[in-house]
Amino acid sequence: MVVDRAVIDAIVAHARATAPAECCGLLLGRAGEVLASRPTRNAAEEPTRRFLIDPKDHVDGRREARARGLEVIGFYHSHPNGAAEPSVTDLAEATYPDHLYAIASLAGTSPELKLFRLHDGRFRACAYRTS
């Protein structure tokens, strides 16, 4: 998997701007490439504990992706005070098999971003390199 460096920078900036709430958004690209991110509103009742991509933003993001010749290939969110690892809630609420899930952590001295793929009801770490 290749992730554009600007995507990582944009996700981290979004995470910093919304902390202590969790940020969330869409990953846009093609098979094997994350080329863009699209921030969405966190519609969760407790945005400091979980995320819920605003449904209108989700639909608008899919339209934007198509207009750019891309697809929504995954989602991202942040863990402002936790590790860049899926939580029990993340797994329970993940509903798009074979999509990517990026998690940005702000808990350490420098931000960390990890990528996972939901497959057979489990998150599996997904190696990536930046372009």
Q: Which of 3.40.140.10, 3.30.230.10, 3.40.50.170, 1.10.760.10 would CATH assign to domain 2-130? A: 3.40.140.10
Residue of 22, 33, 46, 85 marked catalytic: 22
Residue 80 — very low, low, confident or very high, per pLDDT cuts 50/70/90?
very high
Does residue 45 carry a catalytic annotation?
no
Computed on alpha carbons and rounded to an integer, the radius of gyration of the chain in Å comes to 13
Q: How confident is the model at residue 31 (pLDDT cuts 50, 70, 90)?
A: confident
For the entire predicted model, the pTM comes to 0.95
Percent of the chain surpassing pLDDT 90: 93
Span 57-85, average pLDDT: 97
Q: 1-10 pLDDT, tens per residue?
A: 999 999 999 9
Which pLDDT score, from 0 to 100, does residue 98 have?
85
**C-alpha 34, offset from chain centre:** 11
